[in-house]
């Protein structure tokens, strides 16, 4: 299995990750966010509406969010266990109770969910204490999350 996402994980800001999706064996959620902890998160028996939360120590200027899911094409089960639909949300309040939607582009063929701030459009970086990935649909009751990457930028809002 590849560790090609480790350089991207190394750029992530410190955070606590939580989910209500149970993991299989030692494929823990932190493996999708921090380098050197494993290759990916492998969740099982997830349902529509289940969430993955990324919580920072204090609000940060989030400019992008990228989630890569599913097996890589060179593995035995290419394209399986991926996100087909999801919502991205952010919260700025200390207890992460007031959620606001982030624009998201879903590439269900590749199992990717992406948000990128439009810095030049006046709709810039959003301060966020928490980011929530709400999984709405997958292609099985198993879910592979290879990468959760959070990009930071300057605050312009």
Is 1 inside a domain boundary? no
The domain in which residue 89 lies consists of: 6-152
Is 99 inside a domain boundary? yes
For residue 9, the surrounding DSSP H or E stretch is: helix 6-9
* CATH number where 100 lies: 2.60.120.260
| pLDDT in the model for residue 74 | 62
CA nearest to 59, candidates 133, 146, 140, 126: 126
d(CA 35, CA 6): 5
| pLDDT in the model for residue 120 | 40
Q: Of 96 and 79, which is predicted with more confidence? A: 96
Contact 128, 90 (CB under 8 A): yes
Could you give the number of structural domains in the chain?
A: 1
Is 91 inside a domain boundary? yes
Is 114 inside a domain boundary? yes
Q: What is the pLDDT of residues 81-127, one digit of tens each?
A: 888 888 999 999 999 999 999 888 888 777 778 777 654 444 556 79
| pLDDT in the model for residue 119 | 44
Is 157 inside a domain boundary? no
Q: Is the pLDDT of residue 71 over 50?
A: yes
Q: What is the pLDDT of residues 24-62, one digit of tens each?
A: 998 999 999 999 888 889 998 888 999 999 999 999 999
Is 62 inside a domain boundary? yes
């Amino acid at each position: 299995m590849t560790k090609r996402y480790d350089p991207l994980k190394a750029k992530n800001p410190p955070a606590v990750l939580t989910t209500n999706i149970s993991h299989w064996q030692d494929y823990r959620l932190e493996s999708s966010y921090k380098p050197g902890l494993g290759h990916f998160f492998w969740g099982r028996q997830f349902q529509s509406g289940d969430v993955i939360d990324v919580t920072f120590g204090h609000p940060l200027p989030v400019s992008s969010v990228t989630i890569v899911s599913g097996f890589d094409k060179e593995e035995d089960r290419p394209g399986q266990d991926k996100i087909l639909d999801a919502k991205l949300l952010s919260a700025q309040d200390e207890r992460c109770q007031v959620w606001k939607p982030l624009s998201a582009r879903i590439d269900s063929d590749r199992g990717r969910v992406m948000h990128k701030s439009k810095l030049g459009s006046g709709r810039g970086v959003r301060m966020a204490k928490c980011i929530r990935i709400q999984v709405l649909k997958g292609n099985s009751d198993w879910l592979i999350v290879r990468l959760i990457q959070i990009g930071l930028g300057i605050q312009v809002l």
